Amino acid sequence: MKSVFNIVLFLFVSLHCFGQKERPNVVFILADDLGINALGCYGNQFVEAPAIDQLAKEGVRFTNAYSNDPTCAPSRASIMTGQYVPRHKIYRVSDRHKKEQKTLQHMQFLPPENNKPNGKGVGLSLDKVLIPEALKENGYATAGFGKWHLGTKELSMQNQGFNEAIETKKHYNFTQFPTQTDVLENEYNADYTTKKGIAFMEKQVNNNTPFFLFLPYYLVHKPLEPKPETYAHFKEKYNFDEETTKVLAMIKNLDESVAKVLSSIKELGIEDNTLIIFASDNGHYKTNHEMFTQPYRGYKGNTLEGGIRVPYIMKFAKKIKENQVSTSPIIHVDIYPTILSFTNTNLPKNHELDGVSLLPIITGKKEFLADRKLIWQYTNYARYNAKNNTFKTEWVNVIQYKGYKMTEYVESNTYTLFDLTTDPYEQHEISSISPKKIKELSALLQKWKKDTNAEIPRVNPAYLTPIH
């Protein structure tokens, strides 16, 4: 009788365990303004970031990874919602065209209005189901420490699905929301963010609770404020200008924080059950040396490759083989469905996702995602130049498909085209010799606009018609 009872008990336990779905921890480290050539593992020989380079060796590194926007807020909104810009409606960091009279007067069209819930500041609507909210429904503890940039007050991180959240800005003398009492004198923002993240992980491990930790560091965003000792190290080592030296130092400071997080994951014994994601929100800002975006053209604030290509690294010992390099095109909206796949979390009802899960690529089942179209809508007008009759930035819609990248300029109703397969650095514009390709990509772009309910350009009543 006892043996029968043991067999039944064994079967019950076995079936129960078999029926339980895996819920690995997720640690998402997001750098700010870190360019595609700002790490050693991506080819920069001057950068010192051994922890991030080691992470790439232990997982998969993507070489064709993109931000959904060349600026902070829209790209972060796409990460958190898994949606393209027309769906989440965080179009721009700010409305510069409303503050620049010359720019406004020379715009034929008005861009879509930024999302302002309740008529207040720009931010994500509370009815959007963000990554932490989806994971909470699956029993996860969630926390975010660092830069938010997706709304203040009622739209702050604390009301967007995080059990624990502290928003911080700048590096030294950084602000916190809500204000904290445990900030040390002259403490560096990245050190504080790391400290809070590690404490959160320790608590969840002690509670045996799966967790999602979001660490959006302010590094390497301006102001250029590295730790003095790190700056001194690079100033002695190289003869670069002050700006480049400071950026190199800030990248090293970022890596030091990443190293502490990774070490903590190992010490807590959760390395084999934790998905680690490292990425940047958008391309690097323009610098004198331009080493952080080279050999690509462009930088933060435009949709050339240097403004939208970003580093992307993932590690999960159970499913991701070491030292992989993927050339498959991916984009920020893919992170949401990828995390859902890894954590066996259901897609929230009535929440449309534009991204796709990267699980087949990461696990080696597929080399590329079939028929992939990457699309950008960048509606930022700024800095009209009367001499050249051009804008520093203007409304563009961009589509990349099967190696070709077409940009639609809304103001002039013109196009540029590059074949990234043979011309990855966008040196040879080929629209004049490829009318069929322009027609094909235009049709796909129009379909995307319809599918995402993208707003059409509105006539600008303040536009001054040129006198010829």
Is the CB of residue 161 less than 8 Å from the CB of residue 132? Answer: yes
117 within a domain of the structure (yes/no): no
d(CA 189, CA 99): 31
Is the CB of residue 169 less than 8 Å from the CB of residue 179? Answer: no
Q: Which of 368, 388, 419 is the last residue of a domain?
A: 368
d(CA 75, CA 165): 20
257 and 240 within one domain: yes
440 and 305 within one domain: no
Radius of gyration of the chain (CA): 23
260 and 384 within one domain: no
435 and 318 within one domain: no
Amino acid, single-letter form, for residue 432: S
Is the CB of residue 58 less than 8 Å from the CB of residue 302? Answer: no
CATH (domain of 404): 3.30.1120.10
With a threshold of 0.85, does the pTM exceed it? yes
Count CB-CB contacts under 10 A for residue 94: 13
358 within a domain of the structure (yes/no): yes
d(CA 38, CA 249): 12
Mean pLDDT by 10 residues, the chain (468 residues): 39 38 95 98 98 98 97 97 97 88 93 84 91 98 96 90 96 94 95 98 98 99 98 97 98 99 98 98 94 95 97 93 95 98 94 95 85 94 89 95 97 96 98 97 98 94 77
Confidence at residue 467, expressed as pLDDT on a 0 to 100 scale: 57
400 and 270 within one domain: no
Instruction: Show the domain range for 75.
Output: 25-89+125-368
116 within a domain of the structure (yes/no): no
Confidence at residue 5, expressed as pLDDT on a 0 to 100 scale: 38
Confidence at residue 335, expressed as pLDDT on a 0 to 100 scale: 98
405 within a domain of the structure (yes/no): yes
For residue 58 the two structure tokens come to 């232990």
Q: Is the alpha carbon torsion for 244, 57, 254, 179 positive or negative?
A: positive
Count CB-CB contacts under 10 A for residue 236: 9
d(CA 13, CA 359): 29
Buried b or exposed e, range 299-327, using 16+ CB within 10 angstroms: bbbbbbbbbbbbbbbbbbbebbeeebebe
309 and 385 within one domain: no
258 and 161 within one domain: yes
Confidence at residue 122, expressed as pLDDT on a 0 to 100 scale: 86
5 within a domain of the structure (yes/no): no
Give the DSSP letter string of 325-387: EE-S-EEGGGHHHHHHHHHTPPPPTT--------HHHHTTS-SS-TT-EEEEEE---EEEETT
- Provide the number of structural domains found in the chain: 2
Amino acid, single-letter form, for residue 460: N
Element (H, E) at 459: strand 458-459
451 and 349 within one domain: no
Q: Is the alpha carbon torsion for 46, 50, 55, 56 positive or negative?
A: positive
CA–CA distances in Å: residue 169 to residues 148, 149, 175, 219? 9, 9, 5, 10
d(CA 90, CA 109): 18
391 and 356 within one domain: no
Is the CB of residue 384 less than 8 Å from the CB of residue 106? Answer: yes
For residue 152 the two structure tokens come to 């203040």
Confidence at residue 461, expressed as pLDDT on a 0 to 100 scale: 94
d(CA 468, CA 449): 34
Q: Which of 348, 368, 388 is the last residue of a domain?
A: 368
Q: Which of 368, 392, 408 is the last residue of a domain?
A: 368
